[in-house]
Structure 1
Amino acid sequence: MKRRPVIFCFLLLLNALSAFAQELSVPEVAESNTLNQFAQLALSSSDYRVTAGDIYTLEYAASTVPVIYKIVVDTSYRIKVSNLGVINASGKSYQQLKAEVEAIVTNNYPLSGVQLVLTEPASFRVRITGEVRNSQEIATWALARLSGLLDADNRTSYSSLRDVSVTALNGQTRTYDLFKAQRFGDMSQDPYVRPGDVITVNRITRVVSVAGEIERPGEYQLLPGESLRELIGYYASGLSPIADPSRIELVRQVESAVDSGDKIYLTREAIDAGYPLQHLDTIRVPSITELIPVMFVEGAVRVTEEGDELTTATRLTVRFNMGENYASLVQQNQVWFSAISDTKNAYLIRGAERIPLNLNPMLYDSSYRSQYFVEHNDTLIIPFRQYFVTVSGAVYSPGRFPYIPDRSWDYYIGLAGGFLPERNSREKVDIVDLAGKKLTKKDIITPETNINARANSGLYYFNQYAPVITTVLSVVSTFITITLLITQ
């Protein structure tokens, strides 16, 4: 009976140790998976170069004796192939090394089934400096390219991707243009990094931006000697089909006489001639659609299709194509109009001429064509159709008030100054619409509705006639008194 607790405790201890061992093995498994992934990438890439720190496994059969030989590459890059020879692996790819090693073994042991496999690719560190936020060393490996090490978060607004220098361990420095690699796929400008490389990000010298009707708007770093011609044709990939190169706008900020910058107007000839550009120049290529004529619509119209509030200050600018008929223009823009738009009495202002224009047949008859065509700078006026609501009875200021859609009865009572409390103590009203139908307080108030605030306070009428009654009673009382005195 006493052994059971001991056995139970022993089992718990074994479970705890097993769980602890599994936790310890997780990083090792993750690291092993990463190494296997790198090894697979290296084995499948013809570009992988033999790197100091690589670990290879050589397997073959010497007569009937299996041989497994591990090869570690050091910084001398001299590799000893078992006891059969020495190879200089510097600058060679994995495939080249594999072919040479297997050839040496085969020459000595024919039919040996020789195989050289990269089991652990090397990792190494490179240094990044120059126009970056923080100079730092980064751990990487032999299939990492230059662009992948230049983290955007570590670059500054002055970091140049057109001028990145890489200095190798032997002191040789080469300069690369990552724009060409990213834009055109020129991978010679985005090399693989090597152990001990020092990457220097140089400072930009000239950046310009281009917008408007070009195929690739954006900000570009220009090389020395490049001009407006290269910016439009090479970087921006040319003009769009609707570009207007006769009205190119250039804003120059650097060394400008005014804070807002100097604006310069250029033409296609400036592109062809290679107009020189300065640092931070901004170029905009306008569209030919900007030259499309415009007309204006004013009055009781909505600003957008969402149905904004109507105001008397509304003015719409409308572009149109030559030959546009007013009927088609109105039909295409029915959303402009609402219940308070007086479309029947609209009119057109054309120069000094005022032309009546009934829009109703245009709105409701799709086959209708107006005798008027839209002209440049026409102004179409849509008057407000003004309705009123009448408020009478026990209010401070009875009268007629402008009708506003979706307002309740108490809104118009408020416009009339509110109820007279001595005449209307319970907010009783009689509401009658234009057709004579009696409405309740919950009904929607329609145009030309009459709202009567009933004088329903008995005390009010008593106060109105109390002086008269008092006077009459006083006269009667006096008459009776005098009569009694005389009769006595």
Structure 2
Amino acid sequence: MKTKSIGLLLLILAIFASVYAIEIPQMPTTIPIGVSITGYLSKPGVYRLSTMDRLSDAVEIAQQSGKPDRVINKLQSTPLDETENTQVFSYALRSVVLMRQGKRNVYDLEKFYKFGDISQNPLLKDDDIIIISPIQQTISIQGSVFSPGEYEFVQGDKLSDVIKFANGFEPEANLSNVMLYRYKSNMKDYDIISFDLSSYPSNPSIADIPLHSTDRIMVQLNQNYRIYRSVTVEGNVMAPGKYLINESTTLYDVLMLCGGPTDQADLSNGIVVNGVLNLKPSPEIERLIGLPMASMTPIEYTYLRATLRQLKGKYSVDMLNTWESQGSRDNPHLVDGDHIFIPEKVEMVCVSGQVVRPGLIPWVEGENYEYYIAAAGGYTGNRRLFGTRVINSNSGNWAKPSRKDAVNSGDIVFVPERIDYGIWYNVKDTVSFSYQLIAIFVSIQALRK
């Protein structure tokens, strides 16, 4: 038994010995190197890097001004004459110069950053010299591309290169008419050149068009691409919200889309407002509002009052008629931005002004204005004689009431206040009227003679 235990122990020791005898791969050792970084930088100098660093690492370290332990020898003069914390962001990364053993190589780091082109980002060696310049030439692409903006221009660039830097065209781009603005030598006048790139990107060579520095490219939007038209429905419908429409969509179509009116919906007072016209100013109304009332002609004053009472951009439509006729009557075509509102049915009449208890009175079918004034406690002593008006809830029109006319639900019965001009005004009016009568009498007598 003791012999077996010793054997098992020896076996375990052998296993451990074999495990520790396995060689573990070591990471390649890095060799420190010194690289000079100079040019358009706030802190040019010689930096301590390694053989594992690439060109982009050196540029980024120099841009960040370098940590003290990475700087071997900071040059005394800089072309920018800037402070310690200043950073420069206009580096010409598409034309970074790498001097190695007297040989000059130019690398495009933007292609590495944008497209992962590792050939433009070499490993560094000891005594390499990196020269960074400011951006001197640019080109721009605007409009329907994913990344519009100003890009560094390198001699030999083509339109296809700039399209790639802008991450390509958006789906709604109008490729049949890509505009290129090319400035003339005076940098004021320019020529406009149009290109049809409809076959791009299936035919990428079609965009291999040589460019010049300061060229400006404009990619227009295809206005017919996935046109988004919508109307908004609010109020007492089954499913209020925003609904997509097309050129043939009618009011009844939208009422059906939103599930129709609820039981409490007041379709007779439903409104449809055009969003564009509702916001568009009216020069004539603005002019009339700025005029004193005495300067207006009677027709101008009447027009101003009628227009201000009317909701701007409101469709002339009876929505109850639209719904009951299933769209065969009062069923206009809707346009983008239209707004539909269906209020809750309120069986009330509002009595306002010079009554004892102004407020809402339950509507009773067939009753005239006198019924609602009596229900509101009757007139006060300050009401204007013969001044009572009924304001129609649908049209907003003011009408002189009649005992024969019934007041509708939602209408307003308004009793205005008496205007007291004072005794002097009454005496003045009486004297003036008497004088006019005397003048007329004298004139008649003169004619008789």
* Shorter-chain TM band: 0.3 to 0.5
TM-score norm. by structure 1 comes to 0.40
- Structure with the largest fraction of strand: 1
Task: Return the structure number with greater relative CO, CA threshold 8 A, min gap 6.
Answer: 2
TM-score norm. by structure 2 comes to 0.43
